Structure 1
Amino acid sequence: MQAKAPAPDGQVADAPQDNWVDAYAPAATRPYLRLARADRPIGTWLLLLPCWWGLTLAMLAGQDPRWEDLWIFIGCGLGAWLMRGAGCTWNDITDRDIDGKVARTRSRPIPSGAVSVRQALVWMVIQCLIALCILLTFNRATIALGVLSLLPVTIYPFAKRFTWWPQVFLGLAFNWGAMLAWTAHSGSLGWPPVILYVAGIAWTLFYDTIYAHQDTEDDALIGVKSTARLFGENSPTYLKYFLVICVGLMAVAIILALQPNASILALVLALAGPWAMGWHMAWQLRGFDPEDDSKMLRLFRANRDTGFIPLIFFVAALLA
């Protein structure tokens, strides 16, 4: 793979050209905002949307929306932004030597020299402490789940060194909010959010395998493992499996959550969410081309819309 020249003014190679960090943020803050991926918001959406799935599904299950849910909705948004930033900072600290050898990542703040490891550690702690303040406003069960979520976040950056399935560990971390937001609303965990969580992991395997196809050549040279390398030319087949698992498990979670109390109309509307989500994932499969890195990146970013689809139907079911 041909190396990409560093972008001017420290811009990260795979950041959107018109992102707000490079256009408007004060110069002194840009390396830290880039470290937190603020210039690439797709990851925040992928972390946040399962939170909103869990919250709206809990509201549907209990049929008792209340004003506190507005704070859960906002708190999840703030927490997702902060913890995605902290997680990416941790990822870049642990991957600093690997990132310097990969064309797409060598322009990141640590391998490029824009931020030192010590500065990155301080920035990570600041983000975690602010996120903790938000977490402490929720009930005890949610706080416990939030603290426990640090385990998969901590392990994920090392996963590609010891398993061909690092995307599973990313899914464990990125979909935790489905259980956390459900618990923030209901006060306890249950089977519907756990099954929704597993559905989200299948979704992560889908979109992050697409994403990982951008780096297969470099990853092979430096010995980094991924599902993209593992599946190779069979990736479309495995992506179909992940699509079916995601849609099927989400439907099961909806049925378990709604069938005791919800109306038939609400149940039908909610079940339309995973069905429509599956069609959007199928559209991505039709465009899958591992030889075209820019197309793989566009398909990966399209998963923000994928994740919004069931949320829209959940909200419609709430209003039914």
Structure 2
Amino acid sequence: LPAISPFPHTHGQTSSPSPSPGPVSNPAARRHLITLSRRGPCLRPPSASAAASSHYIDRILLPSSFSHPLSTSSRDKDTDRDKEESIPPLPPASWVERLLPEAARPYAMLARLDKPIGTWLLAWPCMWSITIAAMPGKLPDLKMLALFGCGAVLLRGAGCTVNDLLDRDIDNKVERTKSRPFASGALTPSQGVAFLGAQLLLGLGILLQLNNFSRVLGASSLLLVFSYPLMKRFTFWPQAYLGLTFNWGALLGWAAIRGSLDPAIILPLYTAGICWTLVYDTIYAHQDKEDDLKVGVKSTALRFGDSTKQWISAFGAASIGSLALSGYNAELAWPYYPLLTAAAAHLAWQISTVDLSDRADCNRKFVSNKWFGALVSSGILLGRLAS
């Protein structure tokens, strides 16, 4: 004991005065262990003054960070720590929030510039059609590809503006959409109407660069754009109506190059796009199915229910079959078909692996459809160049 005691001892000599005890770091812990030390010899400190005993317990037996298990401050700290750990991390800020002036951000978010997947899904059928309309062995018209790319951004933004204007009383009741500019109060309806007018004027500038047949065909799509947001109130098939709207570019792209429509090529291409939309937008709609039930709107996700995978498998097969028929009628060369097979495999992967009860997974699979569109577009390009 003398060898390990913190107090100086000499055999047969008077001990030197004990050092004065330092400040007590945790009184509750000290009292707790003093009580325990009186219950048995195992925790009893060496014989010394009470002050020295307290000092011994605090400095030797306990680390300075010890906190009594029943201490209120300890419980409060643990509770605060648990709360901090339970708060999910904020998602990374989009480029809209990082780069645009504060006044411009609500308009950019209204046009979904921070979520470009919708623009890709609108643009791909245009690219398919323009590319398949190219002459055999030739590249597609790059000017038309650029014009239709810009048009996809504008038309998608206009469609989202119309959708949010009509749905603003629904969006504030749905978890995923309550932060949209109208639902959150960041923009007023009158500001939205003015923004819609600006987008349509810019879109008109693009449309006027096309031939007369394409101008009429393009302008007629506005009926679909303006009426689509209402469909979820009346039918369980708003995704089919979205397919008619989003794939209008499959008709318009060919018309912009050829000045007319070839039903044998374009109708299967348009049908393929509609069926593809039914696949990806049904997956997307599963994110909101609980909220849709609460607010009373309809979707194919609710219509198909537990049979969703069977339904979208059928639509996926119809999409691939229609793409094959369109390519065959357009006399695309053999490179088209391996890439179409890869696109089919991608679609099969989406359908087979998506967890329809997991919102995050539904969104991941939905966003992955940009790669389906890219595979089909690459196949058409290579098939046309090799034909």
Give the alignment's TM-score, normalised by structure 2.
Answer: 0.74
Deviation at 1:18, TM superposition (A): 4.4
Deviation at 1:278, TM superposition (A): 1.1
RMSD: 1.5
Check if 1:308 corresponds to 2:380.
no
Tell me the equivalent position of 2:312: 239
Q: 1:273 aligns with which of 333, 336, 339?
A: 339
* 3-state SS, counterpart of residue 72 of structure 1: helix
Check if 1:128 corresponds to 2:200.
yes
* 3-state SS, counterpart of residue 28 of structure 1: coil
- The CA deviation string for residues 190-228 of structure 1, in whole angstroms up to 9 with x for no partner, is 111122011100000000000000000010111110000
**Number of residue-to-residue matches in the alignment:** 296
Q: 1:45 aligns with which of 120, 125, 129?
A: 120
Deviation at 1:152, TM superposition (A): 1.1
Alignment of 1:74-85 (within 5 A): 74-85=146-157
2-side partners of 1:246 and 1:272: how far apart?
16
Deviation at 1:276, TM superposition (A): 1.8
Alignment of 1:188-203 (within 5 A): 188-191=260-263, 192-203=265-276
* 3-state SS, counterpart of residue 214 of structure 1: coil
Q: 2:133 aligns with which of 46, 53, 58?
A: 58
Tell me the equivalent position of 2:98: 23
The structure carrying a bigger helix percent of its residues is 1
Deviation at 1:271, TM superposition (A): 2.8
Q: For CA contacts below 8 A with separation 6 or more, give which structure has more relative contact order.
A: 1
Alignment of 1:72-151 (within 5 A): 72-151=144-223
Q: 1:16 to 1:303 in 2, by over 3 A?
A: farther
Q: 1:275 to 1:18 in 2, by over 3 A?
A: farther
**Farther-moved stretch of structure 1 (190-199 vs 165-174):** 190-199
* 3-state SS, counterpart of residue 335 of structure 2: helix
Deviation at 1:65, TM superposition (A): 4.0
Unaligned segments of structure 2, at least 5 residues? 1-89
Tell me the equivalent position of 1:6: none
Contact preservation (8 Å) 2:240, 2:278 = yes
Deviation at 1:272, TM superposition (A): 2.9
2-side partners of 1:237 and 1:66: how far apart?
38
Check if 1:288 corresponds to 2:354.
yes
What one-letter code is carried by the residue in structure 1 that aligns with 2:338?
A: A
Deviation at 1:66, TM superposition (A): 7.1
Check if 1:207 corresponds to 2:273.
no
Contact preservation (8 Å) 2:139, 2:385 = no
Percent sequence identity is 46
2-side partners of 1:304 and 1:18: how far apart?
22
Unaligned segments of structure 1, at least 5 residues? 1-14, 259-265
2-side partners of 1:86 and 1:16: how far apart?
26
Give the alignment's TM-score, normalised by structure 1.
Answer: 0.90
Deviation at 1:16, TM superposition (A): 7.1
